[in-house]
Structure 1
Amino acid sequence: MRPEEDGPAFNAGDEWRSVIATYARPGVAQACLLLQEALGVDVLVLLHLAYAQGRGQGPAGPEHVGRADAAIRGWRDTVVRPLRAVRRALGKDDPAVRGLRADIQRCELEAERHGLALLSAMPWPQGGACAPGAVQHVVRFYGERGGCLARASEPDVAAAIRLLENHLE
């Protein structure tokens, strides 16, 4: 993309606060995690594109999902997912590792905050109409990439998609 076509990036702190508030809405966290498990959705990409859309800057199409995924892929694969795997491996019920698990969860959250900062710094193309569709673009991108798009029609997954469309778009 040529620099003259790029618009300003987002303020990472403002976006983080907005994403945290959105994630805390009833049902949003559970719906995001269900899409993450069922379709491989990157929740940060989903919330970032919904934030951009809410500010009239996208998504103009699925290319924004691909750009966002490319911007965060390395960080997600080398830092966020390994932290998540360690946290999950520790489990919730072992009192001997409860403190360690909480520390790793804090590290995971900070890693996600940095990932969102990477997304916030992405330039956005100027012009073009902003139409709703962040959730559908993200679902389609990750579902097709993972070969599991058919799962989007499963009742619980479809309900999660509808909930997110109502809360994010």
Structure 2
Amino acid sequence: MNVNPSCPHHQDAREFETHAHGQTAALGRAMGRRMDHGLVLLLFGDLGSGKTAFAQGIARGLDVPSSFTVTSPTYTLVNEYPGRLPFYHVDLYRLPTPVDPDEIGLLDLLDEDGVVAIEWAQRLHPADRPARRLELFFTVTGETARSIRIIAYGLDPSDLINDIGVCSLR
């Protein structure tokens, strides 16, 4: 995995390159381990770009027991998992754009004290995105390679993204 610490488009951004599903999950796990309070993660990217692998890693980093299989909630919209912090995995793929977050109960989740990872976040209207969040942009760059750009809004990203090194992601 490669880390690009300088991201010219946004001062609170970081780019990572992963070369396997396991590395994408390891990035999520490393971030999940550092989370000590609720946070919203908006995941953007095409089908197969690594969003679910990353969410699976977040779950393991939050100490969701391995007896729970973390899958994308495409048909249920939200899966909730117990862990050090509650983990809510949301998938907006099947919903029309823009999604009304109040209509599907998403606003209630955003007020919870857990970690909320929202796949297909582009279906949310920008005005409905919480001020305090991480936005993650997943891009397929090869058969198993992915580029993941993480931008922090309304929080100090240093405890989550600036100190994640290559060694912690193996």
TM-score tier after normalising by the smaller chain length: under 0.3
Please say which structure displays the higher CA radius of gyration: 1
Structure with higher helix content: 1
TM-score in terms of structure 1 length? 0.26
Larger RCO of the pair (alpha carbons < 8 Å, separation 6+):
1
TM-score in terms of structure 2 length? 0.26
Structure with higher strand content: 2
